[in-house]
Structure 1
Amino acid sequence: MTDYSSASDILAQLQDGSLTAAALMEHTLARIEAVNPDLNAIVGLRPAEELMEEARRADAMRAANVPLGPLHGLPMAIKDLANVKGIASTQGSPLMKDFVPTEDELFVSRLRAAGAILIGKTNTPEFGLGSHTFNPVYGATNNPFDPTRTCGGSSGGSAVALAAGMVALADGSDMMGSLRNPAGWNNVYGFRPTWGWVPSEPKGDVFLHPLATLGPMARSPEDIGLLLDVMSGPDPRQPLASGGAPVMPLPEIEKMRIGWLGDWGGAFPMEQGILELCEAAAKSFEDLGHTVEAVAPPFPAERIWEAWITLRSFAVAAGLRVFNDRREHLKDTAIWELERGLSMTAQEVQEASDARSDWQRAAARLFQDYDALILPTAQCWPFPVDIDYPREIAGVEMDTYHRWMQVVVPVSLLGLPCLGAPAGFSEAGLPMGIQIFGAQGQDQNILALGQQYHAATQWPQNAPPQG
């Protein structure tokens, strides 16, 4: 076993007895001690002796030949937006820094039931807002390929923990690219499943806000499929979260017709070098036997954007309104979302939903001609860690704190299955990624296509960060 062994290989070694959970935990803690101080990806780490004791109990269970879950003995750290029993769940906010849940969130309980050993948390932006992982509780998480740069977000801690070999599997969540952007900027994989495939925590409203989703991250699509099958499945308390069928084992795929959307006909400003790198990654599918074609913009980008920021603020305000009388403790972007969402009329929300419905119909027509589509995961390279967000890209001013991430919104607005995959590096050695996405319900085929790409490129294994 190495720092970059696949989760599948590690679990196979645990199962055949060539690796013990205690030895794996010892290795994991040593790796975290060696690299995490410079990166700050793992936060809220549980005491080492407590974790070693849990690992020894996992070994004893295996020796007793009792039924075991598919992740038995594997260390995992949970993104700090989710509740984990006994571990501070801060959401990166001073308002939550002392909150220690007494029970697990739904997907966390599924991971625990599958045998994962939950070692702590992975860092995230405050309330997950903004694709740059920093907060006033734990500070910033640095990019392992250049610690002066951002790692993205909001699943930035998860991506860095994977890229730096601290864990083999990680969870994340994605409203506006939070599984895909950090995957691209850290040379790993992040998968946004079809909305409803992985149910969220069954609390609050369960009808109005189909935007965000939970999902897996890993160093290969095959490992993503392994974790996705543990996280997924219906929940009777959530009528719109019907769950999906198991995706493993990933099938062999036939020749596909793939569309390259580029910069959406110039609608998405891009920093120099990104389009060329991502187009080369897209065209590499031709070497795998697929057809790749340039696709004209299938729908007005600005109409997608306006629908998105309306529905996003509507959803974010629903979650943050409990803090409305303490808004002075929120960061500016959270206040912006809260105020916009609380001020919206019903007709404004309806008009945004109308636009989303029109984009859904256009996308459905597009997927009659293409099996998968490809976009970059970001419009800029990882920016300096000490700024909050880019104010301009390629000379174009960004009019909101998240406009620079507009390239992820066509997928997010419809809840399409999308794999964030490595695409290579800039001349300065900074990673970038591509989004590989398909129609709703095509999760298995998108992962299978991604695994074929991974077998040919092996980016996380061929180009890990130094250290």
Structure 2
Amino acid sequence: MSTDTRAPLWQLDACALGAAYRTGALTPLAVLDAHLERLNMVQPLINAMACVDADGARHAATASTERWRQGRPLSALDGVPMTVKDNIQLAGLPCRWGSRLWQDHRPAVDESPVARLRAAGAVFLGKTAVPEFTLQGYTDSPLTGVTRNPWDAALTPGGSSGGAVAALAAGVGVLALGTDGGGSIRRPAGHTGLYGFKPGWNVVPREQGLPEVLPGLEVIGPMARHARDLPLAMAVIGGTVPGAWRAAEAASQPLRIAYWRHIAGSPVDADVLARCDAAAQQLCELGHTVEVTEAPADIQAFNQQAWPVISTTGLAHVLRDAPRAADELSPALAAMWACGEAWRATDLFEAQAVVRRLERALEKVFSAHDLVLTPCSAALPWPADESHPPVIDAQPVDGRGHAVFTAFVNATGLPAMALPAGRAGHLPVGVQLVAPAGGDALLLALGLQWEQSGGSANEWPLWP
């Protein structure tokens, strides 16, 4: 991709910005101004930001501009505007978790991935909106209200990283930092035509964060409009081994890919499957082998038996010392809290046993295949103020019917990536690739190959 500084500055990716900063064709201050102008234009339409820190961003961009002038940038992300999800602590800014219970929380320190990005010179525009306690698959909270999809403002961008993807897809920030505890990066990225990367467990070290609401499942990862920006982000947040992410720069070898079109026969929108089938064909044209196979039954067992226990007991744990919770929670979260309080220790033990069986089943999958391909979501985006689609492919579904393809990845600590797979009508569709443990760089390499082969177009929402 060439560095075309004639394009609107908010459309340039991190690689292009670095090249332009290096030659002096652009400065971080000029780029920040373009992003703030874009933010002011789109925020009233999509409500993606939980708070904006224009002064802090300007201070950081000023320092970055001087470093580039002296030829001493801190990293490839020096001067690159980005956003941070509002369940990740950024010193001095509110971190409200979408909840009235946390509306006064203003941390004094950065969570460790944010600290690494700050030390690398990134410019933080502010915090992006989340649903309450980041536990729903759409983005609406008592504090920020409904967040909307820039491809169709009547529809949701998904959740819980809904504010992150809505801002990014609309041109606010070059990268977005989010969390993924059950698909919260990958499904929203798919709904908005973005790349979203869920690292493997402990690949991105975390300290100084909020309490764990999904213990052992949630990780921090980046979202981007271009695959080539993801290795730049992971080189900063993904551990401390020098050169650990250089493998992502190499073209991937021919791979054996298992393609799961359904989970135990669960419904998937026909338009979603059509785009995923086309993606499978494109992967074949890139030299990979794609085989349609059945997903292990243990995935459905996890979705039905283990996820409800793990997700709600985590919430109950977070709220155990919150006497005002009953008055401050929305009805949906109050119901989840009640469920979490009702489970027994033996129920949690059984859920953990389901996870162990799932791990063994996936070991068998990856003994025969290098990657797994699935849709990111079983459904296209639905109305922005509704928590989930009640019907998929003419079949009634529960609140997790759209999310059947993602949470098993979190339960087993595997890396996964959302790739943009074109559009169904005017709405983006994403596909998910899952790798075995340690396959993070392999996924990033395949993302680069996908982008370079024309797997996604540099398209933008049609407004404003």
Fold-level similarity (TM above 0.5): yes
Structure 2 CA distance for aligned equivalents of residues 94 and 204 of structure 1 = 15
Match of 1:93 in 2: 99
**Is the contact made by 1:184 and 1:420 (CA closer than 8 Å) also made in structure 2?**
yes
Match of 2:332 in 1: 333
Structure 2 CA distance for aligned equivalents of residues 255 and 170 of structure 1 = 30
Q: CA separation of 1:323/1:398 partners in 2, compared to 1, >3 Å: closer, same or farther?
A: farther
SS of 1:273 mapped into structure 2: helix
Deviations for 1:293-340, whole angstroms, at most 9, x for unmatched residues?
111232344312112222222323222333354222112332233223
Match of 2:40 in 1: 33
Matches within 5 A, 1:334-413: 334-399=333-398, 401-413=399-411
Q: CA separation of 1:23/1:458 partners in 2, compared to 1, >3 Å: closer, same or farther?
A: farther
Match of 2:253 in 1: 254
Structure 1 CA distance for aligned equivalents of residues 69 and 380 of structure 2 = 48
**Is the contact made by 2:420 and 2:455 (CA closer than 8 Å) also made in structure 1?**
no
SS of 1:433 mapped into structure 2: strand
Structure 1 CA distance for aligned equivalents of residues 72 and 194 of structure 2 = 34
Match of 1:459 in 2: 456
1:436 and 2:433 equivalent?
A: yes
1:78 and 2:87 equivalent?
A: no
User: 1:52, CA displacement in angstroms?
Assistant: 3.0
- After TM superposition, the structure 1 stretch with the greater mean CA deviation from structure 2, 60-69 or 113-122, is 60-69
SS of 1:425 mapped into structure 2: strand
Q: Which runs of 5+ in 1 are unaligned?
A: 235-241
Structure 1 CA distance for aligned equivalents of residues 149 and 445 of structure 2 = 28
Match of 1:264 in 2: 263
Q: Which runs of 5+ in 2 are unaligned?
A: none
**Is the contact made by 2:198 and 2:219 (CA closer than 8 Å) also made in structure 1?**
yes
Residue type at the aligned position of 2:44: P
User: 1:66, CA displacement in angstroms?
Assistant: 4.7
User: 1:415, CA displacement in angstroms?
Assistant: 1.9
Q: CA separation of 1:13/1:321 partners in 2, compared to 1, >3 Å: closer, same or farther?
A: farther
SS of 2:296 mapped into structure 1: coil
Residue from 3, 8, 27 that aligns with 2:15: 8
Q: CA separation of 1:76/1:207 partners in 2, compared to 1, >3 Å: closer, same or farther?
A: closer
User: 1:245, CA displacement in angstroms?
Assistant: 3.5
Q: CA separation of 1:341/1:324 partners in 2, compared to 1, >3 Å: closer, same or farther?
A: farther
**Is the contact made by 1:232 and 1:243 (CA closer than 8 Å) also made in structure 2?**
no
**Is the contact made by 2:138 and 2:162 (CA closer than 8 Å) also made in structure 1?**
yes
Match of 1:319 in 2: 318
Residue type at the aligned position of 2:64: A
**Is the contact made by 1:263 and 1:275 (CA closer than 8 Å) also made in structure 2?**
no
- After TM superposition, the structure 1 stretch with the greater mean CA deviation from structure 2, 172-181 or 448-457, is 448-457
**Is the contact made by 1:197 and 1:243 (CA closer than 8 Å) also made in structure 2?**
no
Q: How many residues align?
A: 456
Match of 2:447 in 1: 450
Structure 2 CA distance for aligned equivalents of residues 170 and 450 of structure 1 = 17
**Is the contact made by 2:355 and 2:412 (CA closer than 8 Å) also made in structure 1?**
yes
**Is the contact made by 1:142 and 1:150 (CA closer than 8 Å) also made in structure 2?**
yes
- After TM superposition, the structure 1 stretch with the greater mean CA deviation from structure 2, 193-202 or 441-450, is 193-202
Matches within 5 A, 1:162-311: 162-202=168-208, 209-233=215-239, 245-247=244-246, 249-266=248-265, 268-305=266-303, 306-311=305-310
1:46 and 2:53 equivalent?
A: yes
Structure 1 CA distance for aligned equivalents of residues 98 and 210 of structure 2 = 21
Match of 1:238 in 2: none
Deviations for 1:222-271, whole angstroms, at most 9, x for unmatched residues?
2112112211217xxxxxxx9994356522211111111001341x2122
Residue type at the aligned position of 2:102: M
Q: Percent same amino acid at aligned positions? A: 33
SS of 1:15 mapped into structure 2: helix
Q: CA separation of 1:322/1:459 partners in 2, compared to 1, >3 Å: closer, same or farther?
A: farther
User: 1:199, CA displacement in angstroms?
Assistant: 2.2
SS of 1:457 mapped into structure 2: coil
Match of 2:146 in 1: 140
CA-atom RMSD in angstroms: 2.4
**Is the contact made by 2:298 and 2:361 (CA closer than 8 Å) also made in structure 1?**
no
Residue type at the aligned position of 2:41: A
**Is the contact made by 1:260 and 1:279 (CA closer than 8 Å) also made in structure 2?**
no
Structure 1 CA distance for aligned equivalents of residues 403 and 195 of structure 2 = 18
Q: CA separation of 1:347/1:126 partners in 2, compared to 1, >3 Å: closer, same or farther?
A: same
Match of 1:239 in 2: none
Normalising by structure 2, we get a TM-score of 0.92
Residue type at the aligned position of 1:9: A
**Is the contact made by 1:129 and 1:333 (CA closer than 8 Å) also made in structure 2?**
no
User: 1:158, CA displacement in angstroms?
Assistant: 1.2
Residue from 134, 150, 160 that aligns with 2:166: 160
SS of 2:418 mapped into structure 1: strand
Residue type at the aligned position of 1:450: G
Q: CA separation of 1:180/1:283 partners in 2, compared to 1, >3 Å: closer, same or farther?
A: same
User: 1:409, CA displacement in angstroms?
Assistant: 2.4
1:129 and 2:128 equivalent?
A: no
**Is the contact made by 1:110 and 1:231 (CA closer than 8 Å) also made in structure 2?**
yes
